[in-house]
Every structure is written in structure tokens, then in C-alpha cells.
Amino acid sequence: MRLEAKSLGWAAGSRRIVEDVSLEVAPGETLGLIGPNGSGKSTLLRLLAGLLTRRTGTVLLEGAPLTTLSRRDIAQKIAVVEQIAETSEALLVRDVVELGRTPWLSALAPFGAQDRAIVAQALEAVGMAQMAGHSWATLSGGERQRVQIARALAQRPRILILDEPTNHLDIHHQLSLLRLVANLPVTVVMALHDLNQAMGCDRLAVMDGGRMVACGPPDEVLSTARLASIFRVQATRLRDPADNATVFRFLCHEV
Amino acid sequence: MSDLAVPRVLRRTHGLWIAQGAAILLLAVLAGVVIGETPLPLSTVAAVFANRVWDAGLIVDPIDVGIIWSYRLPRTLLAAACGAGLALSGVVLQALVRNALADPYLLGVSAGAGAGAVAVTILGVGGGLLGISGGAFVGATLAFGVVAALARAAGGGSAQLVLAGIAGSQLFNALTSFLIAKSANAEQARGIMFWLLGNLSGVRWPDVVLAAPVTPVGFLICLWFARAMDAFSFGVSSAASLGIAVRRVQIMLIGAVTLMTATMVSLVGSIGFVGLVIPHAMRFVVGPRHARLVPASALAGAVFLIVADIASRMLIPGQVVPIGVVTALVGAPGFALILVRNRRRP
Ligand SMILES: Nc1ncnc2c1ncn2[C@@H]1O[C@H](COP(=O)(O)OP(=O)(O)O)[C@@H](O)[C@H]1O
Ligand SMILES: [Mg+2]
């Protein structure tokens, strides 16, 4: 499903957090969002999901402005995993994933066998099936992250918006998550910290000070000059002899 | 167990739960009618009902009829409506505000009701048009308006609502005390204090007729939005991303809570701890999902307040203890127990 942003902006008081961002994500594409801390990645993702009020500009979902769609319509198409998810309720893992079915249920269409199957499949996909009966409160950070991703999968969205989904995950689960996401037949927009992982995206958008300063194929976007100016690191491109892939090594010269 | 068999089984257990709930409620109401300073046998109760409902023409002592039909039954029914309404209000507020300490009086509703009632009794506001209940209702809604406006002006978060509720409650409580200190005589002051602590003694049928529709309507609204309340578990933004029309759901649910609480407080004064303790206790029994928590809390609230009312009549012979005192005496230790048993694993 096609997602478009036209001169999107958001301000907190007089401070502009995101300014004049326009981008287009093609159906099935994986767009990575990178940029230093506080550059506006999370805010941009929330804008794309229609979760912030007082925004300027428009977001188009398959050509239709988000503002013309109901929250339920949007939630059937876009699933979001935010950076932080906290609850004081004593929910089980299964309860949390079942929340993902919310946009598809109503008083007349209660939770049924099909929903149960979708939830089980989502738990399976992130390797949490055997922990379905555990209490959410007892999970580790990485396990919580995977449960939230299962919840998003259970939403059966056409677009996945993920804010640093590999945070807290061990290296095995980082890579398996990225592979899972890449293999899904959905459009993905995700903020990433690890620039080597970002190389796996179809395209990368770079945020700096609330503006999008570059957008294109990873190889072009991650030039050593840009890495120096925006991320303030000196980068060396290396080639992995195993598969000829590009790998970065970073050095920081500032104290 | 095949997947296809599950919904049928679920539906059958639904029916079972509803039947059990109705039976428990009925038993509690019966207890409320039978137990009292003059214990009345079930046969007398049955005869009074037969006469009232089917015109059976059985011979019963008119004093017993008066006790059962005009005194105990209305106050028991109102206790049930009130307990269920307060417990539901607690469930809703704890879900929306995401604060374990949220209870119906948090929004300043009780304080406003008190101020309204006092304004009517002492100052004669409303020129006799508003009774003490009417004044309380107006005060309660007004206070909630002030609290909601203040919370909005402060940024509209749940923490802001809690703080605004505290500020609003303090303001209206101070107003009440000021009015009492300034113009009430000792007799009036005592009466108002008694009313504020919660009191079902004066309850008659017209009060029941007024309150009876409010709780079922509130209950249905809560049940309708049970899934939406689940979706608030991870916060407002997460609820929105799960397809909940946050503003609409908040307005409907808070509206239902204000209506229920304001009605109950205006009829019986403020009865603390029901809205706080019952939902927490029920979470412990049926879990945090609202499809179960809502009916369980409504039932437990109704039964709890019926029992509390019986206790308030029986504790001191010849005298009625304010029911708010009874609920607090049971509720505070109950709450402490829940806190300790539910404590977070480190
Ligand atoms: N609601 C808000 N009010 C004020 N400032 C905010 C708000 N949300 C985000 N910011 C600020 O906007 C900047 C960008 O935040 P964010 O989008 O979370 O950045 P990133 O995800 O790229 O680290 C940060 O400096 C943050 O402090
Ligand atoms: Mg961020």
C-alpha cells in the first residue's frame, strides 16, 4: 500500500520538531529512517501514522488523506510499534497480542477462531509462542519488543511503522526480525540506529534537525562525507569477502 | 479441543455466568430485605411480593408490609444500583486515566455534589426548585466541568486530570466547609455531615425510580466499550493506533461515569472506596480484560453495597452508621490486602 507525505510538519510550541518532510513509500518497499538522536525520526513516524494532532501538511494513504479516514480504517491498514510500550495492567503475552485484533472486531464480530489463529501465528513469527501464557510484566526488554511486533503483525496491516524495532534485541533476534520484516509482503517504514542494518533497506531517508536531508538507495545515501557531517563519525567502507557486501567501521574523533 | 468448538463452549459458559450473576444478585437483594433489626421470615417477604405483584390478597401485617416494601426493598435496590454504578465508574476511570488510584471521586464529582447540596440547604440556591439531590447533581456536574477544563488547560494528559481532580476536590470541599462555617447552625451542620458520609436511610421509591435506569445504561455503555478500554492498556496513543476513536470513547465513558456518580452521590451522599477497591479486587479474580472485569465489578459492587448497608443498619442497635463509614472500614484494609498480595515482583 502506498504511503505519501506532503510537506509534513509538527511543532511543540514554537519549536519545530519536524519541518517540511515530503516522501513517498511504494507498495512493498522497506524504507529505513536514520538520523542522530532527537532529529525527529519518532515524531515523523507518529505523523505518518496519524497519531499527532496539530500537524501541518498531509499524509496520503493510497491517495486518500488520512484525515478523511476513521481511526479504525487506518488501524486496519497501518500498524505501529512505538519505542516505548508500558502498561500497569497485569496482562499476559497472549492478551497483548490479541489487542492487535482490535480494529477488526466489533460487538457484532467478536473474537473468533480465525482471530485466535492469527494471534497464534503472530506469536510463532517472533518466536514467542511458548511464552503466550507468561505475564507481560515479567518479560525482558527484548521479549517485550517482540511481543509488540507480534501484536502489530496480528493487526494484519498493509503498512508497518516500526520505531527502532531492533532495540533491546540480542543479535540473533535483531537479524531474524529484520529478515521477517523484509519477507513480509507489506510496506515498511522503520527507524533504525545500526547503520549496517540500515544498508539492508530498499531506500534510506536521513533526518537531521527535523528536516529530511537525503533519501535514496543506501549506497548513495551513506556516503562517508554525509556520515561525517550528520553523524559526526569518520567511516571506513569495508567489503565482506564472504558476500561482497559493504560494511562500515566507525571512528569518533571528538572527545 | 478443536478450534471450531471453542466459540460454542464460550457462549455456553457466558449463559452460565449470567445465570450465576443474576442468582447472586437476587440472593443479596433477598438478604437485604430479610435481614434487619426486625428479622422477617422469607414467607412474609414472599407474601408481600405476591400481594404487590399479582394482587394475591394474602393477609400480612401492615407493619411488615411497610418495612419490606417501603423501607428495605427500595434502599436495597438503590444500594445495588449505587454499588454497581460506583464500581463501574472506578473501572472506567482506572482504564482511561491509567492510574491505579483513580476512583469516581477523583474527578471532583463528590466534592461538587457536597457543595451543591450545601448551597441548596443553607443558602437556598434554586429557590426551592432544586431539592438537596438536585443541588448535588448540579454541583457534581459543575465540578467535573471545572476539573475537565483545568486538565485540558494543563495539557490534557492523565496525570493532569488526576492533579486537576485533586485541585477541584479541594476547592469544592473548601467551599462546602466555608458555607457550613459561615451560615449553618449546629443542627444543619450535623445533618450535612451525616449526608456527606453516605446514607441510605431516607431512600424511598422515587429515588429508586430515578437511579434505576442510570446504572443499567452505564453498564451497557461500559460493556460496549470493553474492548476499547482494553486498548487503552498501553496508553492513549497506542489505543488510537489500534483503531480506537479516542476522543469519542473518552467522552462517552466519562459522560457515563459523571452521570452515574453524580446521580448516586446526589441521592445517597459520597460512599468511598467502592469505586477504588471493587475493581482492583475483581482484577485479582477475573483478570484485567474488561469483557469480564466490567460485569464482575458491577455485580461485586452491587453485592458489596447491599451487604454494607445491612451492616450499617445492624452494627449499632437502634442507630444507623453512615454507610460510607462501613465501606471505608472494610475497604481500607481490603485495599491494603490487595496491594500487598499484588505487589510487583522485583
Ligand atoms: N511532545 C513533545 N514536546 C516537546 N518536544 C518534543 C516532543 N516530542 C518530541 N520532542 C522533541 O523533538 C525532538 C525530536 O524527537 P524524536 O522525534 O523523538 O527524535 P528521534 O526519534 O529522532 O530521536 C527531540 O529533541 C524531542 O525532545
Ligand atoms: Mg526516537
Question: CB-CB: which of B3, B231, B287 is closest to A99?
Answer: B231
Instruction: Report which bound ligand comes closest to the CA of A18.
Output: 1
In terms of domains, do A72 and A159 share one? Answer: yes
CA-CA-CA-CA torsion sign (A140, A143, A149, A155): negative
What pLDDT is recorded for position A217? 95
What pLDDT is recorded for position A89? 87
Q: In Å, how far are A64, B60, B62, B322, B323 from B67, measured between CA atoms?
A: 67, 12, 9, 20, 19
Residues with CB under 6 A from ligand 1: A 12, 17, 35, 37-43
Q: What is chain B's pLDDT, residue by residue, as a tens digit (346 residues)?
A: 344 444 444 556 678 888 899 999 999 999 998 888 888 888 888 888 888 888 877 888 888 888 888 889 999 999 999 999 999 999 998 898 877 777 777 778 788 888 887 888 777 776 666 777 778 888 888 888 898 889 888 877 777 888 898 899 999 999 988 888 887 677 777 777 777 777 788 788 888 988 889 999 999 999 999 999 999 999 999 999 999 999 899 889 988 888 888 888 888 887 888 888 899 889 988 999 999 999 999 999 999 999 999 998 888 887 878 888 888 888 888 778 777 776 654 3
What's the whole-number mean pLDDT along residues A141-164?
A: 94
Give the whole-angstrom CA distance, residue B262 versus residue A169.
49
What pLDDT is recorded for position B48? 84
Q: Cell 484525515 maps to which residue?
A: A67
Among A42, A61, A83, A102, most B C-beta atoms within 10 A, so best to mutate, is A102
Question: β-pairing, A15-25 with A203-208?
Answer: unpaired
In terms of domains, do A49 and A132 share one? Answer: yes
In terms of domains, do A89 and A181 share one? Answer: yes
In terms of domains, do A25 and A39 share one? Answer: yes
Percent of chain A beyond pLDDT 70? 99
For the record, the C-alpha cell of B212 comes out as 434505576
Among B11, B152, B238, most A C-beta atoms within 10 A, so best to mutate, is B238
Q: Does the beta carbon of B100 lie under 8 angstroms from any beta carbon of chain A?
A: yes
Question: β-pairing, A56-61 with A64-65?
Answer: antiparallel
How many domains does chain A divide into? Answer: 2
- Whether A205 contacts A29, CB under 8 Å: no
First and final C-alpha spacing in chain A: 45
In terms of domains, do A133 and A247 share one? Answer: no
Give the whole-angstrom CA distance, residue B114 versus residue B138.
10
In chain B, domain spans: 3-341
In terms of domains, do A9 and A62 share one? Answer: yes
Cβ-defined contact of B224 to A71 (cutoff 8 Å): no
A196-205, A228-237, B13-22 — which one is most confidently predicted on average?
A196-205
Which of A14, A19, A33, A43 most suits a substitution to test ligand 1, by most atoms within 8 Å of the C-beta? A43
Strand partners, A215: A205
In terms of domains, do A234 and A211 share one? Answer: no
Identify the residue whose C-alpha is closest to ligand 1 atom 27: A38
* Among the listed residues B88, B327, B74, B63, the one whose alpha carbon sits nearest the alpha carbon of residue B220: B88
**Whether the predicted pLDDT of A72 surpasses 70:** yes
What pLDDT is recorded for position B5? 41
What pLDDT is recorded for position B9? 46
Question: CB-CB: which of A46, A96, A103 is closest to B243?
Answer: A103
Give the whole-angstrom CA distance, residue B159 versus residue B182.
34
In terms of domains, do A228 and A205 share one? Answer: no
Interface predicted TM-score (ipTM)? 0.91
Identify the residue whose C-alpha is closest to ligand 1 atom 2: A12
In terms of domains, do A78 and A166 share one? Answer: yes
Chain A positions in Cβ-Cβ contact with residue B345 (cut-off 8 Å): 137-138
Identify the residue whose C-alpha is closest to ligand 1 atom 18: A42
Give the whole-angstrom CA distance, residue A218 versus residue A220.
5
Q: 3-state DSSP call for residue A30?
A: strand
What pLDDT is recorded for position A69? 95
Cβ-defined contact of A107 to B240 (cutoff 8 Å): no
How many angstroms does the Cα of residue A40 sit away from the middle of ligand 1? Answer: 6
For the record, the C-alpha cell of B298 comes out as 458491577
What pLDDT is recorded for position A103? 96
Domain extent at residue A240: 223-255
Give the whole-angstrom CA distance, residue A100 versus residue B341.
30
How many angstroms does the Cα of residue A84 sit away from the middle of ligand 2? Answer: 9
What φ, ψ does residue A67 adopt, rounded to 5°? -65, -20
- Whether B82 contacts B293, CB under 8 Å: no
Q: Which CATH number fits domain B3-341: 3.40.50.720, 3.40.50.300, 1.20.120.140, 1.10.3470.10?
A: 1.10.3470.10
- Whether A187 contacts A77, CB under 8 Å: no
- Give residue A31's pLDDT band: very low, low, confident or very high (50, 70, 90): very high
User: For the domain that residue A41 is a member of, what is the CATH number?
Assistant: 3.40.50.300
In terms of domains, do A235 and A114 share one? Answer: no
Q: What is the mean pLDDT of chain A?
A: 92
What pLDDT is recorded for position B128? 64
Chain B positions in Cβ-Cβ contact with residue A96 (cut-off 8 Å): 233
Q: Cell 457466558 maps to which residue?
A: B14
How many angstroms does the Cα of residue A164 sit away from the middle of ligand 1? Answer: 14
Q: Greater confidence, A238 or B199?
A: A238
**Whether the predicted pLDDT of A55 surpasses 60:** yes
Query: Pseudo-torsion of CA A190, A193, A194, A199, nearest 10°?
Result: 40
Chain A positions in Cβ-Cβ contact with residue B283 (cut-off 8 Å): 90
How many angstroms does the Cα of residue A82 sit away from the middle of ligand 1? Answer: 13
Q: How far is B209 from chain A (nearest CA, A)?
A: 29
In terms of domains, do A243 and A214 share one? Answer: no
Identify the residue whose C-alpha is closest to ligand 1 atom 24: A38
Buried b (16+ CB within 10 A) or exposed e, B200-210: beebeeebbeb
Chain A positions in Cβ-Cβ contact with residue B237 (cut-off 8 Å): 46, 51, 82
Residues B244, B246, B250, CA angle at the centre, nearest 5°?
Answer: 125
* Among the listed residues A9, A6, A13, A11, the one whose alpha carbon sits nearest the alpha carbon of residue A211: A9
